[in-house]
Amino acid sequence: MWSIDENPRSPKSFIFTAVLTLLFSVSMFGQITSSTANGRNSNYKPREVQQSEAIINQVTDKVGILFKEGMIALKDQKRSDAGEKFNKSVEVFLLSALNVQSNPKLAGCYNQLIETVYRMEFPETQAPNIRSLASTCEWNWNNNDFLLADEIAVIVQKMPVPTDVATNTTLITSADGSTSMPDEALIGFNEQRFEPSPLDELAKLQLTSDEINIDTPEAQQQYQYIQYAVANRSLGFSFQVSPLIQQFLNYYQGRGRKTMEVGLYRSGMFMQMARRIFREEGVPENVAWLGQVESAWKPTAMSWAAASGLWQFIPGTGARFGLRRTAHLDERNSFEQATRASAKYLKFLANRYNGNWELAMGAYNCGEGNVDKAIRRAGSSNFWAAYPYLPQETRNYVPNILATILIANNPQKYGFGHIRPAAPLRYDQIRVPSSTNLAILAQASDTSVEYLRYLNPELRTNMTPPEPYIVRVPAGKANEVVALFRKMPVTQPVNNTAVAKANKGETWDSLARKLSMDAKELRAMNPGMAVPQGKVLIPDRGNLITKTTYARPTTTPPPAAAKTQSSIQVVKVKSGDSLTRIAKSNSVTVSELAKFNGLAIDARLRPGQEIKIPAK
C-alpha cells in the first residue's frame, strides 16, 4: 500500500492542440493607460490588444452556447447529452491553449463553470448559481435564457443527494409477490456500463416436459446421487431433496448447457476469493455458487430490479450491509466488499431461519418479507412447503442453485469435465490520493484505462473518489507504480503528471528534444536520476489549470470518424510507425498525441491501429 500527499482536485481531460492563439501576453492589458501622449482617445486600444480580447470573447461565447445546450438537454431529461455538452464547454478552454489562469475574465469564467457543472451533476445542499456564472462569463443571455437557468437550478435541487447511510427503501410488490425498486433519479451524467443479469431470464424460465421427466434411468441414477450427497453432508450443508433439483440438472445437461459451461469457466476468476470470504464469515463455501446464478460471475451485471454486481444487491440491501453508493462509486460492483456483504447477508438470513439454507437463499432472492409471508401461509418453516406461495423467480432460484452446486462439485458426472475454469483474477492493490485520474495510473502500470475500469468496476468515472482510496492495478505492478510516484516532487500535482519511457542510452537532452520539453524541468521531476532510465515522470501542464473543485474528467476520446466537425483526423498505423513519427508528420507534439489517444508516449503501435490527430 502507499499514499502520497493529497493534491487539490483538478480537471483532467484530453489535451487538445490549440485552435486559437493568444497573440500577446495578458500583461499588455496592464500597460494600457487612460490617455496617451499624442492625445489619442482614452478608450484607444492597440490593434494587438483588440485582437487578443476578441479571441478571449470567442472562447467565452462558445462556452456559453455549449452550456446553454447542456441546460436544454438536462431539462429534457437527456442526461447523457447534457453531460456531453457540459464536457465540451469545459474543453473549449483546453482547446484554446490560452493561459487561462493569467487572465481574470477567463479564470473567473473557467473556475465558476467548473463549480457550477459539478453542483449540477452531483447535487449538494448548495444550489448552482447559474445566473452568476453567466454574469462572470459575460454571456449575452436574454430573459428566456435566465428563466431556463432558474428552472434548471430548481430541477437540480429536487434530485436526491448521494449518501453513504442506509435508508429505508420501499419496494414495489407486484401481484405475484415479486419485488422491484422504484424509479430513482440519476446522479452524475456519466454512467457505468452494465450487462444483463441472468436473473432476468431465470424469472421467465419454464422447464419443458423432457426436463421435468426424472423417470429415465440416467435421471434416476443422478437423483439417487443427490440423496447420497445430502446424507453424507459432503457439500458442507444439508438440504431437502426435491425432484425439482433433478429437473434443473436435466435443464443444464440439455438446453442450458452453454449457460453452465460459461458459468463454470468464469467462476475460476472469483470463486477462490469467494470461498475464502464465505469461510471467514462462517458460511458454507459451496453456498458461494449462488454467485453463478445471480450474475454468471459478471461484476457489472444488472437486473431489471436495479440489482447490481456479482451478488446482485439492490441499493437498499447493499446499504444495509455497508456497500457505499455515491456519485463516485458503487461498491455493489466491487469484488471483495460486495462478496463479504453477500456472505454477511446470507449468514444473517440463515440465522433468521434457524440454519435452513434453502429459506435463506430464497430470502436472498425475494426478501425476508416474502419468505415470511410464504411461511405463514404454508404453516411450516420448510422451503418446499412454502414453495407454492413464493414468487415464480424464487421457485426457480433455489433448486437452480442447488443443481449448480451439485454440478460444480462433480462436473464429470454431469458431462462438464472438459471445462477448465479460468485462472483466478490477479491484481495488486495500492492506496492513491484523492481524485486520482486513472490515466496516470494506467501509464504507470503499463495498461489501459479500460483495464483499470475492469479491475475496479465500482468506480463510476475515470477518477477515484475524493478520498484516499485503494485501487487495483495489474498483478506485479504495485511496486513499480509506488516507486514511480514516491519520487514525484511534493509540489507536482499527481494529475498534472504523465509517464514516458526512456530508451537505453538516452540522455535528458535527447529525451527532452523527443518530448518537446525542457531538459532541466525533466530532471527536476525525476530527482536522483542521473540519466533517464525506464519510466520517467514528465509534466502534463495542460493550460496551467491546476486548482479546481471539478472532479468529472474523462480519459475516453470522443468518437470520431475520419474527420469530425472539429477537424480531428484519424490515421491508420503503418508498419514501423511510432507516436513520435506520426506526431512529427502531423505537426503536433508526441506528448499531445499520446494524451489525446490515451497512450503512453512510447506505446508500441500495431499496423492498422487508428490514431486520432488533435485539431489544429
Catalytic residues: 294
Strands (E), 456-584: 469-474, 497-502, 534-539, 569-572
User: Among 323, 408, 407, 305, which residue's Cα sits nearest to residue 365?
Assistant: 305
- For residue 615, the one-letter residue type is A
358: Cα separation from own chain's centroid: 35
User: Among 270, 275, 297, 298, which residue's Cα sits nearest to residue 286?
Assistant: 275
The residues near 570 (Cβ < 8 Å, ≥ 6 apart) are 560, 561, 562, 563, 610, 611, 612, 613
| C-alpha atoms less than 13 angstroms from C-alpha of 386 in its C-beta half-sphere | 27
Alpha helices in 27-171 (DSSP H): 47-75, 79-96, 104-121, 130-137, 143-157
Q: Could you tell me the end-to-end alpha-carbon distance of the chain, in angstroms, rounded to an integer?
A: 42
**Quick one: residue 595, left, alpha or beta (phi over 0 = left, psi -120 to 50 = alpha)?**
alpha
d(CA 100, CA 93): 7
Sign of the Cα torsion 398, 399, 402, 403 reads negative
Q: What is the DSSP letter of 102?
A: G
Residue at grid coordinates 470567442: 58
What is the 3-state composition of the chain as percent helix, strand, coil, each rounded to the nearest 5?
50, 10, 45
The residues near 184 (Cβ < 8 Å, ≥ 6 apart) are 160, 306, 315
User: Among 261, 225, 590, 291, which residue's Cα sits nearest to residue 419?
Assistant: 261
Coil vs helix vs strand at 388: helix
Answer for the pair 465, 450: CB distance below 8 angstroms, yes or no: no
Answer for the pair 398, 361: CB distance below 8 angstroms, yes or no: yes
| C-alpha atoms less than 13 angstroms from C-alpha of 332 in its C-beta half-sphere | 26
d(CA 603, CA 501): 9
Residue at grid coordinates 500577446: 24
Answer for the pair 441, 473: CB distance below 8 angstroms, yes or no: yes
Q: Looking only at Cα atoms, what is the longest distance across the chain?
A: 112
| C-alpha atoms less than 13 angstroms from C-alpha of 409 in its C-beta half-sphere | 20
Answer for the pair 441, 454: CB distance below 8 angstroms, yes or no: no
d(CA 536, CA 519): 12
Answer for the pair 248, 262: CB distance below 8 angstroms, yes or no: no
Residue at grid coordinates 446424507: 231
Q: Which three cell numbers stand for residue 558?
A: 470522443
**208: enclosing H helix or E strand:** none
Length in residues, the chain:
616
d(CA 436, CA 466): 8
